[in-house]
Amino acid sequence: MSETAQTSAAPFAARTVAILIAVAVFSFGAIMVLAGWSPELRDRDRAGDHPFSTSAIGYNGIVQLLEAQGYPVEISRFKSNLNGHYGLMVLTLSTRGMHNSLEDYELQDDTLIVLPKWSGMIDWTNPSRLKDTDLASEESIASTLEALGIDAEVKRTDVPERISTPFGRLALKPDLQLQLLQSDDLTPIVRTRDGALLSQVSGRSIYILADPDLINTFGLAERENARFAMQMINFMRYSEDEPIIFDATLHGFTRSENLLQMMFDIPFLGVTLVALAAALLLGWAASIRFGPPARETRAIALGKQALADNSAGLVSMARRETRMAPGYLSLIRRRLARQIGAPRNLTEAQLSELLDRLGPENISGKTFSQIEAGLRAPAASREDLMHKARDLWRWRRDILRRSMNDPK
């Protein structure tokens, strides 16, 4: 194998290059997915009193029940929905890690507030379940209400056999005790003699459910509780098309719009697909060779053309082009003398006189002596040299065509 072939051989085989490119594209795509969707990949089914939880005190059961009944229900992870929303917003409160968020939150109309009742420890062998549960203190629940600007007292009593509601007398079955509210600032909707189970902030469409056992996963196992939950939701909605929104941001499940997710969401999905298709076409076009590979040329070319090019380059680098006029005139004079067969013993003046007799140039009408006068001294500039040399070349062409029928 020759030395040239060895140096021009590719360092990697085509198959190796294809594998490397595939690995690079896959790795880049994986990084983009992790960067844009890492919050989505987080395990949300962790035990607690939030809408994603399937534990006993969670509210994913009511979400699934509403979906099964054909209700437009969603779990919101956008904080912007807390400040303005269309539909019934359901806030499931907790006694832990929520106080600061509630102090910064301003209650909006069309909101159902579900108070906490239980606290528990997560079973780390199965994070979606609670290891142990206990009743939260009444003071901690009252403090949660105070963070919302609601002055009310929490009270727990024995569960009565039946409770009068706007939907009829129901045998509700919360766990252990019935949790109620007592407040002069709230209007009772469902009440017992000891307090309000469901109440409304006076003058606003903000509702408070005191006992979460009526809609959490554990409580929905009782038919009367599930019946009450559905009728309560219908009571608070204005129309069948009004969505039901369970907020998850207060529990730390937030989501923010980022550029990567927007690229694959409507209406930007079309632009992204077009850009990806264009990138694939460009990659395909770049991988195809148009014609045979170009051969490497010598560092120093050989032949007359190379000699002329190198000489012209040296003259140009030295900026001596304007001084080439007398030399060019002498070269053309000698060539013309040979071409017309002029005697060799003629002086320059005699040869110039002889060339003048051949006639002027067709376009400008200049004779050889007139053109010669402009080329005896260095030109004023490169452009001036080009004009004078062009006049001499045209005169020579016309004379040879007339006198010798030269095809040049």
> Which domains, ranges and CATH numbers included, belong to the chain?
60-255 (3.40.50), 304-403 (no CATH)
User: What does the pLDDT average to over 71-77?
Assistant: 89
On average, the pLDDT of the chain sits at 80
Using pLDDT thresholds of 50, 70 and 90, give the confidence band for residue 10. Answer: low
pLDDT, tens only, 335-346: 888 887 888 888
pTM of the model: 0.56
Per-position b or e across 384-398, b if 16+ CB within 10 A of its CB: ebeebbebbebbbeb
Inform me whether the pLDDT recorded for 174 exceeds 60.
yes
Given this model, what pLDDT does residue 4 score?
46
Closest by Cα among 201, 192, 112 to 156: 192
User: What does the pLDDT average to over 88-103?
Assistant: 80
Using pLDDT thresholds of 50, 70 and 90, give the confidence band for residue 407. Answer: very low
What is the Cβ-side half-sphere exposure of residue 8, based on CA atoms within 13 angstroms? 10
Given this model, what pLDDT does residue 336 score?
81
Dihedral sign for Cα 268, 269, 270, 274, please.
Answer: positive
pLDDT, tens only, 363-388: 778 888 888 887 777 877 888 888 88
Using pLDDT thresholds of 50, 70 and 90, give the confidence band for residue 73. Answer: very high
What is the DSSP secondary structure assignment for residue 198, as one 8-state letter? Answer: E
Helix (H, G, I), strand (E, B) or coil at 245: strand
User: What does the pLDDT average to over 264-278?
Assistant: 76
**Residues 6 or more apart from 136 whose CB is under 8 A from it?**
95, 116, 117, 118, 119
CB 181 within 8 A of CB 210: yes
For the record, the structure tokens of 82 come out as 């807390």
Inform me whether the pLDDT recorded for 206 exceeds 70.
yes
What is the DSSP secondary structure assignment for residue 323, as one 8-state letter? Answer: G
Given this model, what pLDDT does residue 229 score?
92
Pairing outcome for strands 206-209 and 111-114: parallel
